[in-house]
């Protein structure tokens, strides 16, 4: 439900490398039977002074690489998805929209609507308003809020953006948002929301994780939670694959297995790059897509039946993605 491989693709294409997805990402995905991804455009912190230019560059690099690919199948609804093929289904998302005030001026209902129509035409179908930061749209979880701004929740501009996303039937992603923004979005309209890569705060008290009340609210809207494999969100100490399973089982027991999916957020491919921040914490035995089959094997050893495994690895995600079909 969440991957940053587009960042890796863009940085490598900047140095002249071609067909990055096919050469570096497709083989590991294929051998681990991963056939569908939500790939996000995320503006790295090092580009904080030229967010829009970087966003546009990232989009250009990603689309150029996809155009060269023999294995990318870009999807805009569940109806597009291929099964049992040599293609990887990819949905495009946006992780953080701080660039918007540079892209749209003035920020009005009409200008926002027009801009998001363009993004929709490109192929974007999911969006997160903020990546931890506080911006003109919403309050992120503020883990990287160096300016120490006061959290303000969903703003008037953010409300217009969310309403437009809902009109286009985008999947509204609440990962990275603070609790105030979460509830502002939740109460804005009866609409299914999801957290593409977030965990249970009851097990790991990190501001990026969700409270029991938030988890229950997502389930009430027939939403979805993709469990994140990043160590810092799994355990305050040393994290392992068993901690990941603990979060799966805790959330499944709390709200139901049908609302749980996989949002690994692997970062192994970002390690060589200068991003302006670092993600140094690693989860033992769950650091890349090559560890996914070990996860499934452990679930089987814990007496998970095939139906439950099928739900969290495929069925639940496909059910939720159908929400975009009317857009």
pLDDT in tens, 272-299: 889 988 888 899 999 999 999 999 999 9
Beta-ladder partners of 139: 134
Supply 160's token pair: 């217009």
Residue 173 lies in a domain: no
Whole-model pTM?
A: 0.96
Distance CA 27, CA 67 (A): 18
Residue 79 lies in a domain: no
Residue 126 lies in a domain: no
Number of domains comprising the chain: 1
Residue 283 lies in a domain: yes
User: Hunting for tokens 């739900």 — which residue is that?
Assistant: 311
Residue 142 lies in a domain: no
Distance CA 219, CA 174 (A): 13
CA-to-CA separations, 277 to 45, 237, 293, 325, in angstroms, rounded: 7, 21, 30, 36
Residue 221 lies in a domain: yes
Give tens-digit pLDDT for 69-124. 999 999 999 999 998 889 999 999 999 999 999 999 999 999 999 999 999 999 99
**CATH number reported for the structural domain that contains residue 303 in this entry:** 3.20.20.140
Distance CA 2, CA 38 (A): 5
Task: Identify the domain containing residue 286 by its residue range.
Answer: 192-327
Residue 201 lies in a domain: yes
Give tens-digit pLDDT for 182-213. 999 999 999 999 999 999 999 999 999 999 99
| Other Cβ atoms closer than 10 A to 303 | 7
Residue 187 lies in a domain: no
């Amino acid at each position: 439900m969440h991957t940053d491989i587009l960042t890796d693709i863009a940085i490598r294409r900047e140095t002249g490398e071609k067909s990055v997805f096919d050469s570096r990402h497709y083989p590991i995905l294929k051998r681990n039977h991963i056939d569908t991804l939500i790939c996000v455009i995320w503006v790295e912190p090092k580009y904080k002074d030229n967010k829009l230019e970087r966003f546009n560059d990232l989009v250009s690099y990603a689309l150029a690489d996809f155009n060269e690919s023999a294995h990318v199948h870009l999807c805009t609804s569940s109806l597009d998805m291929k099964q049992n093929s040599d293609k990887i289904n990819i949905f495009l998302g946006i992780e953080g929209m701080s660039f918007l005030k540079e892209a749209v001026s003035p920020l009005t209902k009409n200008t926002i609507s027009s801009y998001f129509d363009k993004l929709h035409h490109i192929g974007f179908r999911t969006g997160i308003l903020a990546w931890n930061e506080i911006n003109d749209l919403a309050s992120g979880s503020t883990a990287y809020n160096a300016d120490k701004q006061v959290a303000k929740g969903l703003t008037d501009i953010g409300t217009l953006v969310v309403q437009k996303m809902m009109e286009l039937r985008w999947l509204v992603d609440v990962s990275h948002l603070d609790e105030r923004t979460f509830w502002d979005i939740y109460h804005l309209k009866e609409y299914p929301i999801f957290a593409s890569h977030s965990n249970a705060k009851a097990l790991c008290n990190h501001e990026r994780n969700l409270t029991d009340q938030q988890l229950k609210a997502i389930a009430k809207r027939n939403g979805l939670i993709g469990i994140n494999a990043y160590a810092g969100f799994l355990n305050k100490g040393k994290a392992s694959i068993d901690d990941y399973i603990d979060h799966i089982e805790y959330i499944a027991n709390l709200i139901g297995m049908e609302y749980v999916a996989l949002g690994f957020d692997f970062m192994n491919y970002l390690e060589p790059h200068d991003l302006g921040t670092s993600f140094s914490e690693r989860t033992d035995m769950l650091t890349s897509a090559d560890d996914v089959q070990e996860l499934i094997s452990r679930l089987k050893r814990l007496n998970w039946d095939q139906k439950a495994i099928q739900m969290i690895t495929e069925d639940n995600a496909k059910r939720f993605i159908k929400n975009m079909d009317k857009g």
